[in-house]
Chain A
Amino acid sequence: MLGRTLREVSEALKQGLVTPTELCQRCLSLIKKTKILNAYITVSEEAALKQAEESEKRYKKGQSLGDLDGIPVAVKDNFSTAGIETTCASNMLKGYVPPYNATVVQKLLDQGALLMGKTNLDEFAMGSGSTDGIFGPVKNPWSYSKQYREKRKQKSHGENENSHWLITGGSSGGSAAAVSAFTCFAALGSDTGGSTRNPAAHCGVVGLKPSYGLVSRHGLIPLVNSMDVPGILTRCVDDAAIVLGILAGHDPKDSTTIQDPVKPFTLPSLTDMSKLCIGIPKEYLTPELSSEVQSLWSKAANLFESEGAKVIEVSLPHTSYSIVCYHVLCTSEVASNMARFDGLEYGHRCDTDVSTEAMYAATRREGFNDVKL
């Protein structure tokens, strides 16, 4: 059951083939079994079971809220969740329990989704490996796949096999691992410069970065306000589309969301490739690209072409500037967004009380890791 798509599980729930509580318990036990992955920082067991109970009541009455009712989901630990600790994998926010829900979290809960817990990440979403959080790195579930174990056995010659593991990529590594390990059907990540797509690729799941302005950032603890977007991680594309349909739309609490109303949509089932035109940006074929990735890329392009789609070369001429621009924007906005962490109103505060400046300095030194200092 845990391997099904959202639509299939939703259908099964409606038909009573499985109950939300069963789903919830199965996911919870799988989370415990896969603890070694370190994908979850907080597991909200009690809350999830309670939500499952409510969902079950609704299904019994035949009043399900929608496709997500009773479905276990996970949320990256940089989204504010009311009453549930939100740490951003940093000492600065250890013990911080927000008093409100992020808009996207609220939307999921309003649809009846079951919140399994908060997933691990790089500290404050700064990183691309999910290795830099204070709770330790996230391990890629594929580290425990037969293929990888075989490979390691051949190379290790008696070394402890368990000491080798693969990274999940980041910064939404926990969310990607959670989905990849079947502990939930969908997870929220965040994407600033690839932080949802990167771990999705590493963990073999679907990672979607919606266009900026489509999904509300209210409640997402920001890294770079001009580029952050809540990301969606699922095991198939259709699932991502369902979740996007629920999350997209104008939020009066976020002034950067577009005003136009979002029409509900379903992905068309594509059988006729001849109408499809696919562009391959030539600037993306860089010398640094690994041969493995390049061959996979070519393989995909060839697959489309052989099925009748048109595959052409396109140009994205500003590509060479993108990294530089990213660095300038990123460093300025991060410095700005981190300015609020002074220990005065919430979060970690040091013991020094000599002066305000000394308190600020000590709190921030103790709270942040080296990347931010």
Chain B
Amino acid sequence: MATPILRWCCPGRRWVFAGIGSVFRHGRGVPTGSTSSGKRGQSTVAQQPLITAQKPRKGEREWAAVVGLEIHAQIASNSKLFSGSQVDFAAPPNSLVSFFDASLPGTLPVLNRRCVEAAVMTGLALDCHINRRSLFDRKHYFYADLPAGYQITQQRLPIAVNGSLVYSVCVGKRQSQMVTKTAGVKQIQLEQDSGKSLHDSLRSQTLIDLNRAGVGLLEVVLEPDMSCGEEAAAAIRELQLILQALGTSQANMAEGQLRVDANISVHNPGEPLGVRTEVKNLNSARFLAKAIDYEIQRQINELENGGKILNETRSFDYKLGCTVPMRDKEGKQDYRFMPEPNLPPLLLYDSGSLPTGTDPQQVINIDQLREQLPELPRVTREKLVQQYGMLPEHSFALLNEVGLLEFFQNVIKETRAEPKKVTSWVLNTFLGFLKQQNLAVSESPVTPSALAELLDLLDRKAISSSAAKQVFQELWRSKGKTPAQIVAEKKLELMQDAEALEQLCRSTLEAHPQVVTDVKKGNPRAINKLIGLVRRATLGRADPTVIKEVLERQLSS
């Protein structure tokens, strides 16, 4: 759990180093594995009021952090970027390797149309300028998982430039407010993925699997417009949702379809930017923010102690929770960029510039792709807010879980209950049960129809809300039973007989004169006792709000 101070600081956050023994130095980032129990520092640390972090005291230095991101997303295509071999995550090693992928001499690259379309679509979704003419280059370095000794990428003139990624972060004490932010998209380029190396230290050997070598990647470069781990994580999340909505990448970090490198530096506000480090291999959504924040803190500590930041490459050690320098990447690498001579410039057209008589199979029309763009998450959320009057945070939550939006929409279709009720039940109760048992929406034992039926019962006031919760629990546990069946089995129907309820209330009041006196004296909790008594008498089949109403009416008369 991140220390509270971090969340509180974002947006436009400032990092304050309040001197030795501050919350910052000992409260987080555990390089030696010690917990934040203040072992090394004074025990008074934990009690330091957090508010002081906002207004720097005299003698304290303020710090601002700058975070840029390079994201590699595997393109969801049937075959690789420059060869016809298949793209499949879980195939046997070295079973999806064409002659070109294995770098057999004499083989040549042939560009995959679907990958170009994916790049254009992603560029359009991120408001980029699509370059009508882009070029391919070779980036050279020697590594066992790079068979040709170079990677084909787009260094000089990439396919899309100058866009923006709009995302939201949660602010406020209770994470309830959403603030919109923008990160500039510097460029999007097409490039090849490398193979995989598996290091077998036991036998001192490295095993190479070339299945991934040559798979198409979209590299999205985000400008250093983010200022902390949370903003970076939120930006990545939004990009994931966009890519998934477009279908251009499955963007699953666990399967390596989305990889993130971060460029991080710190400086005092008003002064020039500091030296940046690159943190590579941020491949887990959970640890992304943590790793970035750790590095920011490390740099602050270093500079405050009079040290210097080296322009180096580091990687995040998940076990230790810290960044460590990467030995192989010391010093600047010379990639000897060179134009790829086997690929002519990539020319894209729009409806206006399309030459007459061209085979549509041979060209890409940007306007056509633009028309076919699916709805972006941002638009979907706006529509939800407009249509159902839900809070923006709820629209985020609905889109954040695979299949949840569809589930929600199916319930809405089948129920008469108010959208707000549906939203609440889906996001609180339904999602709560899913998370508790670590299930995906697709694995839910409760169908949208079942929930819709339940909500209808509630809407008709056939059952109370507490009864509804009971029914839901039963629905979750036992398959096949409908809500109506469960209500009947457990006798959860609300009392419909108003006269009987009046009678019960009156008799309860008569039976407990002392409590009645307490109520009349003005004791606010006494009425609840009466309500409880009536409820028990009705075997839980009366709505507490209705009971309260009746009792109050009877008491006042």
Contacts and interface: CB of A to CB of B under 8 A. Distances in A.
A102 B106 contact: yes
A88 B106 CA distance: 11
B546 interface: no
Contacts of B204: 353
Interface of A: 79-80, 88, 93, 98-100, 102, 217-222, 224-226, 252-256, 332-333, 335-336, 338-342, 344-346, 353, 356-357, 360
Contact of B99 (A100, A335, A342): A100
Those 8 A-B pairs whose CB atoms lie nearest each other, nearest first: A339-B149, A225-B341, A221-B105, A226-B341, A340-B103, A219-B106, A80-B106, A340-B148
B255 to A, nearest CB: 26
Given A255-B109, A255-B342, 10 more contacts: A254-B342, A255-B108, A256-B343, A332-B338, A336-B338, A342-B142, A342-B144, A342-B147, A345-B103, A356-B144
A220 B106 contact: yes
Contacts of B149: 336, 338-340, 342
Given A80-B106, A99-B99, A255-B109, A333 B344 contact: no
Contacts of B210: 345
A44 to B, nearest CB: 18
A99 B109 CA distance: 17
A255 B343 contact: yes
Given A256-B342, A344-B144, A336 B109 contact: no
Given A100-B99, A344-B147, A253 B110 contact: yes
A79 B107 CA distance: 11
Nearest to B197: A356
Interface in B92-148: 99, 102-111, 138, 140, 142-144, 147-148
A99 B105 contact: no
7 contacts: A100-B99, A222-B105, A255-B110, A256-B342, A336-B138, A336-B150, A345-B103
A346 B108 contact: no
A193 B9 CA distance: 65
B338 A93 contact: no
A255 B116 CA distance: 15
Interface residues of B, number: 31
Q: Is chain B's interface secondary structure helix, strand, loop, or mixed overall?
A: loop
A80 B110 contact: no
A340 B151 CA distance: 11
A93 B105 CA distance: 10
Nearest to A228: B341
A333 B108 contact: no
Nearest to A225: B341
Interface of B: 99, 102-111, 138, 140, 142-144, 147-150, 204-206, 208, 210, 336, 338, 341-344
Contacts of A98: 104-106
A357 B336 CA distance: 18
Contacts of A225: 341-342
A339 B105 contact: no
Contacts of B341: 224-226, 256, 333
Contacts of B147: 340, 342, 344-345
Contacts of B138: 336
Contacts of A332: 336, 338
A252 B82 CA distance: 12
Nearest to B143: A356
B83 to A, nearest CB: 10
Contacts of A224: 341
B116 to A, nearest CB: 13
A333 B206 contact: no
B243 to A, nearest CB: 27
Contacts of B102: 345-346
A48 to B, nearest CB: 22
Contacts of A99: 99, 104
Given A100-B99, A340-B149, A221 B106 contact: yes
Given A221-B105, A336-B138, A340-B105, A256 B338 contact: no
A252 B210 CA distance: 24
Nearest to A335: B336
Nearest to A217: B108
B223 to A, nearest CB: 31
A360 B210 CA distance: 18
Contacts of A79: 106
Contacts of B107: 218-219
Given A333-B341, A336-B138, A340-B147, A356 B105 contact: no
Given A225-B342, A344-B208, A339 B104 contact: no
A59 B110 CA distance: 38
Nearest to A100: B99
Contacts of A340: 103, 105, 147-149
A219 B105 CA distance: 7
A341 B104 CA distance: 9
B104 A346 contact: yes
A16 to B, nearest CB: 38
A224 B338 CA distance: 12
A79 B149 CA distance: 21
A353 B144 CA distance: 13
B104 A336 contact: no
A267 B205 CA distance: 60
Contacts of B143: 356
A80 B210 CA distance: 22
A327 B338 CA distance: 15
Nearest to B142: A360
A256 B147 CA distance: 22
